[in-house]
Amino acid sequence: MQEKNQENNSNWKGEDFVNRWHSTYTFMPLFENPVKMPELQVFLEALEQHFGKVIPLQEDAQMPKSAPELLGFMLMEHTVYYEADKREFPSQLLICGADAFQQEIWDEMICANFWACSNKETFLPRCKYSLMAMNMVASGLPMMEEYGIMAEYADMILEVFPDCIGIYWPHSQSLTPREYYEEPHWHNPQNHFLDGGLNVRFFRLQGTDEMLFDTLGLTAIGLPDLQFHCKNLEPDDVVMFLRNLAAYLYQYGDIIEDGNTVEGIHHERWVCQREDSIAEPLRMVLDINPGEFAGGNRS
C-alpha cells in the first residue's frame, strides 16, 4: 500500500495508517452527491482567513478536477526549520480531487467503533464520494501546532464545502458527521484535533464479564495508543478516563514511562506499562492496569 496513492480509495484500507507514525496526515471529507469544487479564489481566501499568508505551490494553480490531481499551498506563517539546509520551509496543505468513495475500506470492526455516528444505518449509505486533504513538510512543527492546523483545515473544508456530510479519519478509523465535528467536545479548544484524530474503541470479551478498551490515532502522530482491560467498571467512565489521558499525552507528549502511575477513576493509582496490543491492529500500546478491576490474570 502506498501512502500517497490517490487513484483508488480501496488502497487506503489496512492497518498501515494506525500502527506506525506518519510524516504526513490525511483525512477524507465525505459527500452524498458528486462534489462541487469551489473556485480557487474562494478556497485561497478561506485558507488565508484561517492560516495567514498562503501561496499556491503551482504558478498556474487550479482546483483539482479528478482524483489523481492535487493542489498544494504553502503556509508562510507556519514554517519548519531544517538543520541540514540551515533554513526554514513553509509547511503545506494539500487537497486532492474528488473520487467515488469505496466503503470496502470499512470492515465490520471499523464500523462497530464509529461512536461519533449515532445513526450509522442511515448515514453510512450516504457516503458515496470523497476528497483527500493532507499536510506535508509539517512534521517538524510542534505537535499541537501541526495537528491543530489539521483540525482547523477540517473546519475550513466544512465551511467551503457546504455539501460535505462528514469526515473519515483513516489514522484513527473514526467517522465524524458534520454536526459532530462542528460541536465542541473539549474544555480546551486546542484539543479539537482529537474530535477526529482520536477513537476510543470498546469490546466485550465473549464468554467473560470483561471489557477491553483501546485508542486508535495516537500511534500515527508519534504517541502511544492506550489499552485498558477491565471488569466491574462503567464503560462511560472508562471512555472518559481514556479520553482525558489521551488529551494529557497530546498536550505534554510521551512522558509516561513504564512503571509510572496515573490517577484512576476512583482516585486509585494505576500502573502503566508498554505492551503489545491485544486487539488489532498490532502495535505497541501503553497499557493501564486498573488493579482490582483488571481483566485477565492481573490484579
Model confidence at 67, pLDDT cuts 50, 70, 90, reads: confident
Q: How far apart are CA 236 and CA 9, in angstroms?
A: 33
Q: How many other CB atoms sit within 10 Å of the CB of residue 113?
A: 19
Task: Name the pLDDT band for 77 (thresholds 50, 70, 90).
Answer: very high
H helices of 99-202, in order, are: 108-112, 120-123, 143-160, 178-182, 194-197
pLDDT greater than 70 at residue 7: no
Rounded distance, CA 25 to CA 27, Å? 7
Distance CA 215, CA 91 (A): 28
Over the chain, what is the mean pLDDT?
93
Place 86 in a pLDDT band, splitting at 50, 70 and 90: confident
pLDDT confidence of residue 14: 58
> Confidence band (pLDDT; 50, 70, 90) for 85?
confident
In the prediction, which pLDDT does 3 show? Answer: 34
Q: Which is nearest to 286 in space by CA: 202, 203, 225, 222?
A: 225
Mean pLDDT of 74-102: 93
Answer yes or no: is pLDDT of 299 > 80: no
* Comparison of pLDDT for 212 and 208, the residue scoring more: 212
Q: What is the pLDDT of residues 131-149, one digit of tens each?
A: 999 999 999 999 999 999 9
Q: Provide the percentage of residues in the chain whose pLDDT is more than 90.
A: 87
pLDDT at 8: 39
Measure the CA dihedral 54/60/62/64, to 10°.
-100
For residue 15, the model assigns a pLDDT of 76
pTM beyond cutoff 0.85: yes
Is residue 6 within a helix (H) or strand (E), and if so which, with residue range? Answer: none
DSSP secondary structure string for all residues of 184-215:
---SSGGGTTHHHH-EEEEEEPTTSSEEEEEE
